[in-house]
Amino acid sequence: MKLISQLSKETGVPIGTIRFYEKTGLFSGETKKEITTNKYVYYGDDVVEKLRFIQMAKAVGFTLSEIKEVIDVWYKKEFSKKAKIEVLNRKLSEIDEKMRELKAVKKQIALCKFNIENGIG
C-alpha cells in the first residue's frame, strides 16, 4: 500500500492526474480506518495495474469513459456475466478496428517514405 506520491513515481502519472482519475471513478484508494489523525489515501497494486492499462488505452485513442466501461466490468460485480462479455466483445472488435487503421496509417507513411527516398512526388 502506497501513498499518492509513491504511486505517481511508480507509474509516471502526475499526482494531479491521479486525483482527477480517482474523482472520475476510474479507481479508488482507501483510507486506513485505524488512523484517525489524517485523511491520507493508500493505493494498492490493483491501482498500479489500472493506471498502466489507462495509459496504454489512452495512447491508442480510447477516451476515459470508454476505458471506464472496461474497468467497471473488470472490477465491479454489479453486472451480469452476459452484460460483461458483451462489453468486452465490443471492445475487442474496436481494438481490431484500430489495428486495421494503425496498419493503414503505417502503410501510408511507409509509402510516403519510399516516394521521398526515390525522388518521386
Residues that bind a copy of itself (CB under 8 A): 53, 56-62, 70, 73-74, 81, 84-85, 88-89, 91-92, 95, 97-99, 101-102, 104-106, 108-110, 112-113, 116-117
28 interacts with DNA by CB under 7 A: no
Question: For residue 96, what is its C-alpha cell?
Answer: 481490431
What DSSP element (H or E) covers 60? none
Helix count (H) and strand count (E) of the chain? 5, 2
Q: Of 4 and 64, which CB lies nearer to a copy of itself in the complex structure?
A: 64
Q: Build a one-symbol-per-residue string for 41-80: x at contacts with DNA by CB under 7 A, - elsewhere.
A: x----------------x----xxx---------------
Q: Of 98 and 111, which CB lies nearer to DNA in the complex structure?
A: 98
84 binds, among a copy of itself, DNA, none (CB under 5 to 8 A by kind): a copy of itself
| Burial profile 30-60: b = 16 or more Cβ within 10 angstroms, e = fewer | eeeeeeeeeeebbbeeebbebbebbeebeee
Q: Of 48 and 64, which CB lies nearer to DNA in the complex structure?
A: 64
Residues at the site binding DNA, with contacts judged by CB under 7 A: 3-6, 14-17, 19-21, 29, 35, 37-41, 58, 63-65
